[in-house]
Amino acid sequence: MHTNHQPIVAPTSGLPFTKASACGNDFLMVEGAHASGDLGALSRRLCDRHRGVGADGVEWLFPDPEADVSARLFNRDGSEAELSGNGTRCVAAEICSRQNKTQVVVRTAAGLKTCRLAGRHGSTFEFEVDMGQPEVGGQLSIETIGVPAVGTRISMGNPHFVIFAENFQDDWQKQAARIGAHPQFPQGTNVEYVVLRGANEIEIRLFERGVGETESSGTGSCASAVAAIASARVASPVTVIAPGGSQTVRWENQVYLRGPATLICRGQFFV
């Protein structure tokens, strides 16, 4: 029987990756040695949810003489960020799965982060991460289409603007996008909306620089908890509830973040 179908030829230039998720905040881990050229452009392709693998960001992994691994984080839009608390846990989960470690030190652009394994169930790893000392700034009022948004600047090694609210407005994403692009933040900022739920509990919504709305954020959870503790709204430790799940933040000089990271799959991206 005659057919016009051409033989299928498998692509030969595959880029190995691991995909992981921390409370719905998903990342790809790729060895930097496997890539060359513009990591930002390649990260955009990898993160595309329709034409790529799909993720909020890519953690590019490199050897490091003083740490278990060095990680460069690129957001979904191809911009490079200082760090991600959730992404760092995903990196630690990947290293633990390879080397059976109970502690992983990850170098980020915001310094060394130590991830201590608190438990494991299958492909899900629970870590407590030393996130370092926060910087608590003053309150700031940002005009957004005539409606001022009053929030607190927090740095966790990356910038955050934390807004306390009675409830989550239906169109909060539009305001958050305008805040993130405001001239007050020339490098952009992550935006968190916080609703108090108890003496040791808050609920948050997140709009991340270079990504948009996310289901969770490690540094966003830390910044929100720090802002709430610093203003005496809650006491440490704080349970932080996000759409993708809950994490625990305690602030004892250093900030410590505890939460899960789940390895989802491994594969190859045909470049």
Separation between Cα atoms, residue 92 and residue 245, nearest integer Å: 19
pTM of the model: 0.91
Domain span at residue 233 reads 135-252
Question: Looking at the structure, do residues 54 and 103 belong to the same domain, yes or no?
Answer: yes
Q: Is residue 9 part of a domain?
A: no
Residue 10: pLDDT over 50:
no
Asked if residue 6 belongs to a domain, the reply is no
Q: Is the pLDDT of residue 79 over 50?
A: yes
Residue 147 and residue 238 in one domain: yes
- 190 shares a domain with 121: no
Residue 110 placed within a domain: yes
> H-helix or E-strand containing 160?
strand 159-164
Q: Is residue 3 part of a domain?
A: no
Q: Is 176 helix (H, G, I), strand (E, B) or coil?
A: helix
Q: Is the pLDDT of residue 38 over 70?
A: yes
Return d(Cα 48, Cα 210) in angstroms, integer.
Answer: 13
pLDDT at 143: 87
Q: Which helix (H) or strand (E) holds 218?
A: helix 218-230
Three-state SS for 87? helix
109 shares its domain with 168: no
Cβ contacts of residue 63 below 8 Å, gap of 6+?
A: 69, 70
Chain segment 213-257, per-residue pLDDT in tens: 999 999 999 999 999 999 999 999 999 999 999 999 999 989 999
pLDDT at position 5: 54
Q: Nearest 5°: phi and psi at 40?
A: -65, -45
In total, how many domains does the chain have?
A: 2
For the stretch 91-140, pLDDT in tens is 999 999 999 899 999 999 999 999 999 999 999 999 999 999 999 999 99
pLDDT at 253: 87
15 versus 6: the higher-pLDDT residue is 15
CATH number of the structural domain spanning residue 231: 3.10.310.10
